[in-house]
Structure 1
Amino acid sequence: MHINLEETQEKKPKKFYQLLYVQVIFAIALGVALGYYYPETGEKMQPLGDGFIKLIKMVISPVIFLTVSTGIAGMNDLKKVGRVAGKAFSYFIFFSTLALVVGLIVSHFIQPGKGLNIDPATLDSSQISKYVKAAEESDLKSFVFNIIPDSLFQPLVGDIILQVLFVAILFGVGLALTGEKSKPVTEFLNACMIPVFKIVAILMKLAPIGAFGAIAFTIGKFGIESLKNLFGLVLTFYFTSFIFISVILGFVAKLNGFNIFKFIAYIKEEVFLVLGTSSSEPALPGMMSKLTNMGCEKSVVGLVIPTGYSFNLDGTNIYMTLSALFIAQACNIDLSATQMATLLGVAILSSKGAAGVTGAGFITLAATLAVVPDIPIAGMTLILGIDKFMSECRALTNVIGNGVATVVVSNWEGQLDKEQMNRVLNGEK
């Protein structure tokens, strides 16, 4: 049963100003202008952005549960679940590590922190204490136990994606193993998807308001002026992410029969939504819908996208190694090849340990630096003020990376309708 946002909306052609992504772009421009010229008023717009994200979070759990459980229930071979998961995690591990390496290499050669000559002793680390504490608490044991909910249906009223995914897989397997006896339940869940996705479509109409509030708050509170001193780091991060998406993911896309730029154009609503809200979560329902509509098998989409939101954070990984070397360069600390290799090894582990944690980018950086004493953890205060401006790029890269991962795993599994994909990406649908 394929349900997407387009099916829950009217089919008649829309005028350009009625298109969601056009409205979001316009809202972002207004938000930037308000935050820049009237910063105090811009700061007061925060509830609009936070409220929209909270509304989307409200429907993420049922969307994932319904999509995954019904997808698995419809599988004839349950071995496929393990096979898809294995292929997905292989992809995640390789490209997450590659993203860390790319960030390390680019930062080493461009050296955005060189010349700042910061004395670590003069830095006030109290501002980052909460991130350090969160990093200390995000060990492997707590991470694993956090996946297991206290009750079967608790995740449906929570916002921990991995718990929802865990329960959805178990419930889907239960439906598949009981076959005809559970058919009424499966049909009921399939029917529930129609109103749930209709709710998503309704909420998405509020996206321009959410984007306006979020960007107005960011510009109003932090100010574009805060970018001046650390412009080199921000520019380097955006450049590195662009190279990763266009070259590395572009090559992967080509190997699997599609063009990365056509794919990005196809998900432009989600791209601008992420850009406006600085969060990848509002794009999750739309991404799942569009990937299914594009020709990916629903069960594969349901397994790969939610898991990737915790384990395939390409943008966050680029940010981690790039920022770590920036701090070292700013504090005039020369790292040897062995020290950089140690940094990379620790980052590979810490990036998985804090998966699914709110503010994971900054927390995983704190966790990495805490284990690598060569780089002062207090140096994180240097990038705290501009972290919000880099969060957009982190989220964008994460969303695009997970979209590509889903198409690739679907292709590997032989569950990708390439004719449908080409029609959709070429605008022929």
Structure 2
Amino acid sequence: MTQAPQLRIPATYIRGGTSKGVFFRLRDLPESCQVPGNARDRLFMRVIGSPDPYAAHIDGMGGATSSTSKCVILSKSERPGHDVDYLYGQVAIDKAFVDWSGNCGNLSTAAGAFAIHAGLVDPARVPDNGTCVVRIWQANINKTIIAHVPVSNGQVRETGDFELDGVTFPAAEIVLEFLDPSDGEGSMFPTGNLVDDLEVPGLGALPATMISAGIPVVFVNARDIGYTGIELREAINNDVWALEKLERIRVAGALRMGLIDRPEQAQQRQHTPKIAFVAEPADYTAASGNRVAARDIDLLVRALSMGKLHHAMMGTAAVAIATAAAIPGTLVNLAAGGGEHSAVCFGHPSGTLRVGAEAVRENGEWIAKRAVMSRSARILMEGWVRVPEDSF
């Protein structure tokens, strides 16, 4: 029996926001994996430990959730006005594919920090103490992200007292700006409407707001699908019928938004669009056991990622939430009480999150100018990741 030796590839394991992933510098990847294609996908699947029929990722770096099955590539940017190019791959858990169709907002935080750690930012732009402004080109969706990264003694400051619901320990705050966050080209509302009647097989017509800001998201009202908006993960993820119902809505939305041509294509595009349901504020107990009071939030939002209810909220979906809330008449805006909102604080399964957004109407169409949120990032481990040589 042939025994393939293991390769050592420089890598860094980082938590960013409420996600974590394996980060690589492009130049450190094997030559065949420095370009998009099958070799890169196979490498990343082996790094994470996918596809895994046991859904445990015992033989890889993944954590068997959509929040922890991620890989990132960074390189110096040749694009004017940018420091680094950031490419994100969402690795499926039990299927053999890597989804490159969208960004990860949480790991955008880590991308800014890693850019400095990895020497990809011009040292002249890194202060001894203060804040380093890292200009990131998000290569999945061709958008600019600005990360304001705290620095002490010329190094990224990772520890601090900033608390983020969904993350156990406090850390240093990193402020992210998503510029022109409408995902892809064309209208931010692909159907041309703020609210549509979305025909879903077996469910009938549901009011839906379908928006591409941060990431494509299909928003529906919680009450229209039998929920209250205060559900935690177990209430959804342990219910096969609930997951199947929500996937039907997601697929119908993907078709209506023009992201896929046929329903079966949704299986190879699990990362986008997201499906989320919204409701008016209500008191509830978060996954941490802490109470969230209705008076402290503007609305409730629950969102799914890769077919499961997210334990907190995806950063890119938070951008979509804030942007939709800023536009009068969307389901998100109505759940937040209607009117004008330059920022919203919403309740999610792990607690609350405040996100700001600026949206304007130009020539009859709504345009997202920017979205802002605070997250944190911390290196968990650095060195080499090992994979069998015949993995790719």
Q: TM-score range by the shorter chain?
A: under 0.3
Compare the two structures and name the one with the higher strand fraction: 2
Compare the two structures and name the one with the higher helix fraction: 1
Higher relative contact order structure (alpha carbons within 8 Å, sequence separation ≥ 6): 1
TM-score (norm 1): 0.26
